[in-house]
Amino acid sequence: MATDAGPTVPASSSSRNAPALFRVSAAAAERIERDDAVSAIGAPLVPIARVVSRTLVALACGHAAPIPRAKRTPRALPCFACLDGRPVERDVVLTALADASPEDLAAYLDAIDSRAGVVAPPTFRSA
């Protein structure tokens, strides 16, 4: 009499997939651990906007953070400057200005002038 023990998986198939399963589960556990640690501290996870230098990235909130020493750079990092309520970092602003289009630069200049209380000169259009 044969008993039905259910489907069987060949030993070679399961042993081939085991390293991949371990890598996936280790990566998931690392992400959960990191996110739990960040949420326990209270620092928000902010997306990376651009690379400022070899050791620094600009976050979408306007703060800078050191590049983590991981094989792959994560999409978001905890921003401890947001947690502390610090203003936007100068390096991030200067990098944004260097990458800005002429239209963006004009908008930034108008914002700077209005904040400084300077009345912008009228623009003349040639007809």
Question: In the chain, what are the domain boundaries?
Answer: 29-116
Higher pLDDT, 32 or 78: 78
Pairing of strands 56-59, 45-51: antiparallel
What tens digit of pLDDT does each residue of 77-118 get?
A: 888 888 888 888 888 888 888 888 999 999 988 888 888 876
What tens digit of pLDDT does each residue of 42-71 get?
A: 788 899 988 888 888 889 998 998 888 877
Using alpha carbons, select from 108, 70, 65, 64 the residue that is nearest to residue 89.
Answer: 64
Q: How wide is the angle at C-alpha 60 spanned by C-alphas 92 and 110, nearest 5°?
A: 60
Higher pLDDT, 110 or 29: 110
Phi-psi region of 35 (alpha: psi -120 to 50; beta: other; left: phi over 0): alpha
Q: What local confidence, expressed as pLDDT, does residue 127 receive?
A: 45
Q: Which amino acid is at 18?
A: A
